[in-house]
Amino acid sequence: MQIVETTNEGLKRAYTVTIPAMTITARVEGEIKKIAPQVKMPGFRAGKVPANLVKKMHGEAIHQDALNAAIREAMDKLVADHALRPAMNPDVALGEGYEQGKDAELTVSLEILPTIAAPSLDGLKLEKLVVPVAEDAVTEAVERIASQQQRFETKDGAAEDGDQVIIDFTGKLDGVEFEGGKAEKAPLVIGAGRFIPGFEEQLAGIKAGEERVITVTFPEDYQAPNLAGKETTFDIVAHEVKAPAESKIDDDFAKELGLESLEQLQGLLKGQLEQETAGLTRTAMKRQLLDQLAAGHDFDVPPTMVEAEFAQIWQQLTHEASHEEDPEAALAEIEAEKDDYRKIAERRVRLGLLLSEIGQSNGVEVTAQEMQMLVGQAAQQYRPEDRQRFFEYVQQDPMMAAQLRAPLYEDKVVDFLIEKAEVTEREVTRDELQAAIEADTDGEKTVEAKKPAKKAPAKKAAAKKEEAAEEAPAAEEKPKKAPAKKAAAKKDEAAEADAEAKPAKKAPAKKKAAAKED
């Protein structure tokens, strides 16, 4: 095998690799000998099919596999012999005109990770913004729960807006009952807007024991095609009319929620508020930390990594802009700031590589148990019968495993650095803490932090602050050796595996026909 370096500029490398024909031929012959005993052919006893016939039958596929194996082996040797750390998968191309019996001429181009000197951890200073949980905040939280747990008491007389009625209803289309349009003793709050338009309004004035027939037209976009846009009737029987009652906040109220006392409820809510503000405090500290790291380190980063990061940022921005009131204006606005977002992508990649170097230099790692927990959490988004396939997919795909690992690894490195830093505390209000998080960093625009669990609501692009400054998504526990792309013209097996491992989620169960879609 011959390897010749053709480009060595900055982080870019290029090579020509020649795989001798005899190497590929030897692999083919060895594979034919291996499978010949299992080949069956009419006129021959099992295991007695001549090698030349086996080659004639399966030679093309065997040669293709042998060529791919030789290319992978060549890439492994290239990376090892030249001590390369590929930033992304190398781009491998098989020379035009290649055919069996000839040497395989490959052109390989790639970008390598930069060499980063282990940064000094001395001199890190962080300010911890602490928000004490005030009693009135706990009281407000309790009152908010009470308002959500609206109680109703039986009343005499006709139902009014805001009252709750307990009814039986039977829906009919052209005089015939339709599926999902029937319920018994269903609670309905008049004016709550939870049923299809026109349903609740026609129950105003109804009394306990009264029967009534109402006419309702389903919305044109209703989820059940047989009802969409159709005029229907509902036979109503009212069992009870209830008026809103004031929720008394006491031990009995707490017991209705499954707790022992009001004091226990207050303690739980206080703990939740403390946990919430602690998360915001950490976010502010992380931003300070990454700002200091970014200010103190400037090195070249692989352009392909920057482009990949920018592509994710841009996809998110355009998706959010498309859901704004004026999509065209929102898209035009982010388009005008495209260069700013590209700089954010570069910052993210640089910080990710820097955190990776710090983590490796200081023995930070994600344990096997933690990794198993991450995979288990990710698998929950799939149907139970598909989760095992997802586990197998992660085991077979190092890139998928790295994507799952990276956020946790980054957080562990950040926690390590916070422990090393000199931290001073300052008491602030929640508004002041929120303002510190939303403040611009180095004049950059905001890109929502990449969080896998919850989907953040879309924000207007003009109002975005630099949330990206607190993220460094490229951090890896250990840089993985990127496998070479297959030069042979085969289907993208990785893409097929990905599609197979990501099955469609179950559709939610249909609601009763009378209830409006959420």
Q: How does pLDDT run across 239-291, given as a tens digit for each residue?
A: 999 998 877 888 888 888 889 999 999 999 999 999 999 999 999 999 999 99
Structural contact between residues 49 and 41, judged by C-beta atoms closer than 8 angstroms = yes
Exposed, middle or buried, 47 (CB in 10 Å: 0-12/13-18/19+)? exposed
Task: Identify the pLDDT of residue 496.
Answer: 34
- State the angle between helix axes of 51-81 and 21-35 in degrees (0 to 180), rounded to the nearest 10: 130
Task: Identify the pLDDT of residue 440.
Answer: 53
Exposed, middle or buried, 203 (CB in 10 Å: 0-12/13-18/19+)? buried
Residue 354 to residue 65: CA distance in whole angstroms:
39
pLDDT digits (tens, 9 = 90+) for 209-243: 999 999 999 999 898 999 999 999 999 999 999 99
Residue 26 to residue 252: CA distance in whole angstroms:
83
> What DSSP character marks residue 185?
E
Per-residue pLDDT of the chain (518 residues; tens, 9 = 90+): 899 999 999 999 999 999 999 999 898 888 888 877 777 777 776 666 777 777 777 778 888 999 999 999 999 999 999 999 999 889 999 988 888 889 999 999 999 999 988 778 888 999 999 999 888 889 999 988 887 777 889 999 999 999 999 999 999 999 999 998 999 999 999 998 889 999 999 999 999 999 999 999 999 989 899 999 999 999 999 999 999 887 788 888 888 888 999 999 999 999 999 999 999 999 999 999 999 999 888 899 999 999 999 999 999 999 999 999 899 999 999 999 999 999 999 999 999 999 999 999 999 999 999 999 999 999 999 999 899 999 999 988 887 888 899 899 999 999 999 999 999 999 999 889 988 888 755 444 444 333 333 333 333 333 343 444 345 544 544 433 333 333 333 333 333 333 333 333 333 333 344 444 44
Task: Return all residues near 359 (Cβ < 8 A) that are at least 6 apart.
Answer: 365, 409, 412, 413, 416, 475, 477
- State the angle between helix axes of 262-296 and 430-438 in degrees (0 to 180), rounded to the nearest 10: 30
Alpha carbon distances (Å) from 181 to 218, 248, 340, 512, 514 = 12, 36, 54, 6, 6
Beta-bridge mates of residue 235: 170, 213
Beta-bridge mates of residue 211: 237
- State the angle between helix axes of 262-296 and 338-361 in degrees (0 to 180), rounded to the nearest 10: 100
Task: Identify the pLDDT of residue 93.
Answer: 94
Read off the pTM. 0.64
